[in-house]
């Protein structure tokens, strides 16, 4: 299909066309003329976006059922969205990752920031996991998978259909094997001197959170030989295993998921650190309170909870939860020890998260020096025009 065959959709006069021309990638439903023809477009349809004066602005993906009714794919109105187009975007992303990492374990495509709106692709050696979180990517996922294999040479491509975003796009939650054979066991992933075990078919998201890699590394720098460390909301042992690899004497991982903790134990075993690694399953708030009642103290405590404020409506409750995490965790840190607090809530910006963390530390009767503010690694680039891409924050304090 050429762009001459594509339907046209048009911005309303009140829409901020300048922001879109300057790189903002979305058009909201109240900014587009939604006549009967536009409403009849099937989710994931391609169209040429015009401003209110009918000047062409680029090729967009349209989903009349979504609040984000258009996603900018290419600012060239003549662009053809086919396998070659996908391959060019993937090749550009791959060039950056090869420069950054000496092994093929990273986020290869980070949605809008890599020019593929709503698409996440994580690479695990010869396997890749795609999250097509927008309707257009679901429609074209076969072309995307073919281009991915062509450019990277991976032999297995999986589709992960979990996540809140797909629900908002009206998509199902059915995952699939698109190419090759799904790994029969967890895939070992080397990072920061540790080995992590990624479950590509049954784990959270794509199987591993690559975004915390530099923050794992910073936490490891805080570890003295023989240190006692606590990794709360540990998932597969992200912070704990990195700190053990750096010389910690003992690490305790706390998480509510038994399968995640099993993978953490497998990672500790794969790294030859099993005898220094312990787990405790349960609600993180309850476990931290119990540890305090037991008089437990740690040289480094890191908390990496799920998104407590996934949207603006949840912001106040989310900030209270982050404050509570900080209060409970601070009580477990030895004097002169270190506390790491993380948030992956894009609705809670850095200033709000930092203030909530400081309140919690203060309510624990502690005083902290803020040493370092971390963000997602460079395989999770930010799109400056889209605040949602700056979702991850990590604060490290000396108490």
Residues of the chain with CATH 3.30.750.80: 83-179
pLDDT tens per residue across span 3-29: 678 999 999 999 999 999 999 999 999
Q: Of the candidates 250, 229, 258, 211, which has an alpha carbon nearest to the alpha carbon of residue 338?
A: 229
Retrieve residue 182's tokens.
Answer: 């799904």
Confidence at residue 181, expressed as pLDDT on a 0 to 100 scale: 95
CA–CA distance, 361 with 341 (Å, rounded to integer): 11
Residues of the chain with CATH 2.30.130.10: 3-74
CATH superfamily, domain 83-179, is RNA methyltransferase domain (HRMD) like (3.30.750.80)
Report residue 303: phi and psi, to 5°: -120, 125
Confidence class for position 255, pLDDT limits 50, 70, 90: very high
What is the pLDDT of the chain when averaged over all its residues?
95
Active-site residue, 70 included: no
CA–CA distance, 303 with 329 (Å, rounded to integer): 8
Strands ordered across the beta sheet of 393-398: 277-281, 250-255, 228-232, 298-303, 333-343, 393-398, 369-374
Is there a contact between 112 and 128 (Cβ–Cβ < 8 Å)? no
Confidence class for position 187, pLDDT limits 50, 70, 90: very high
Confidence at residue 1, expressed as pLDDT on a 0 to 100 scale: 52
pLDDT tens per residue across span 227-239: 999 999 999 999 9
Least reliable range by pLDDT among 106-115, 148-157, 178-187, 201-210 = 201-210
Q: Under CATH, which number does the domain 3-74 receive?
A: 2.30.130.10
Whether the pLDDT of residue 203 is over 90: the answer is no
Active-site choice (70, 303, 342, 344): 344
Confidence at residue 311, expressed as pLDDT on a 0 to 100 scale: 87
Confidence at residue 2, expressed as pLDDT on a 0 to 100 scale: 58
- Residue range 146-170: average pLDDT? 94
Share of the chain above pLDDT 90, in %: 92
Beta strands (DSSP E) in the chain are 8-10, 26-28, 45-50, 56-62, 68-74, 105-110, 119-124, 127-132, 156-159, 176-179, 187-191, 194-198, 228-232, 250-255, 277-281, 298-303, 333-343, 369-374, 393-398
Report residue 381: phi and psi, to 5°: -60, 150
Confidence at residue 129, expressed as pLDDT on a 0 to 100 scale: 97
Pairing between strand 119-124 and 127-132? antiparallel
Residues of the chain with CATH 3.40.50.150: 187-398
Is there a contact between 315 and 348 (Cβ–Cβ < 8 Å)? yes
Report CA-CA distances (Å) from 140 to 112, 132, 137. 16, 9, 5
Whether the pLDDT of residue 205 is over 80: the answer is no
Whether the pLDDT of residue 362 is over 60: the answer is yes
Is there a contact between 373 and 394 (Cβ–Cβ < 8 Å)? yes
pLDDT tens per residue across span 309-347: 988 899 999 999 999 999 999 999 999 999 999 999 989
pTM of the model: 0.94
CA–CA distance, 351 with 343 (Å, rounded to integer): 12
Confidence class for position 165, pLDDT limits 50, 70, 90: confident
Q: Under CATH, which number does the domain 187-398 receive?
A: 3.40.50.150
């Amino acid at each position: 299909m050429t762009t001459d065959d594509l339907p046209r959709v048009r911005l309303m006069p009140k829409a901020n066309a300048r922001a879109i021309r300057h790189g903002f990638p979305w058009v909201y439903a109240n900014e587009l003329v939604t006549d009967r023809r536009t409403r009849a477009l099937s989710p994931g349809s391609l169209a040429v976006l015009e401003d209110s004066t009918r000047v062409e602005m680029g090729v967009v993906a349209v989903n009349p059922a979504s609040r984000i009714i258009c996603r900018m794919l290419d600012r060239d109105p003549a662009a053809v969205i086919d396998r070659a187009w996908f391959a060019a975007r993937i090749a550009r992303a791959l060039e950056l990752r090869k420069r950054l990492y000496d092994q093929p374990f990273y986020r290869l495509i980070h949605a809008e920031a890599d020019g593929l709106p709503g698409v996440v692709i994580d690479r695990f050696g010869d396997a890749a996991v795609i999250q097509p979180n927008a309707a257009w990517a679901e429609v074209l996922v076969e072309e995307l998978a073919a281009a991915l294999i062509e450019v990277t040479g991976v032999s297995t491509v999986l589709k992960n259909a979990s996540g809140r975003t797909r629900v908002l796009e009206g998509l199902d939650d059915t995952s699939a094997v698109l190419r090759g054979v799904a790994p029969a066991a967890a895939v070992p992933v080397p990072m920061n001197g540790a080995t992590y075990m990624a479950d590509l078919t049954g784990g959270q998201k794509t199987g591993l959170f690559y975004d915390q890699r530099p923050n794992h590394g910073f936490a490891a720098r805080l570890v003295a030989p023989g240190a006692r460390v606590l990794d709360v909301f540990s998932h597969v042992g992200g912070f704990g295993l990195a700190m053990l690899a750096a010389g910690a004497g003992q690490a305790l991982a706390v998480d509510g998921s038994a399968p995640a903790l099993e993978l953490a134990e497998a990672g500790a075993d794969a790294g030859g650190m099993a005898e220094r690694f312990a787990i405790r399953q349960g609600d993180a708030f309850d476990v931290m309170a119990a540890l305090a009642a037991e008089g437990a103290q740690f040289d480094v405590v890191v908390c990496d909870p799920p998104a407590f404020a996934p949207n603006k409506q949840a912001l106040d409750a989310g900030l209270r939860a982050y404050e509570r995490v900080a209060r409970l965790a601070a009580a477990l840190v030895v004097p002169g020890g270190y506390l790491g607090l993380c948030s992956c809530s894009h609705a809670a910006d850095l200033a709000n998260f930092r203030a909530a963390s400081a309140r919690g530390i203060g309510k624990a009767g502690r005083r902290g020096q803020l040493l370092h503010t971390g963000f997602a690694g460079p395989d999770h680039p930010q799109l400056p025009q889209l605040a949602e891409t700056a979702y991850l924050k990590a604060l490290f304090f000396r108490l």
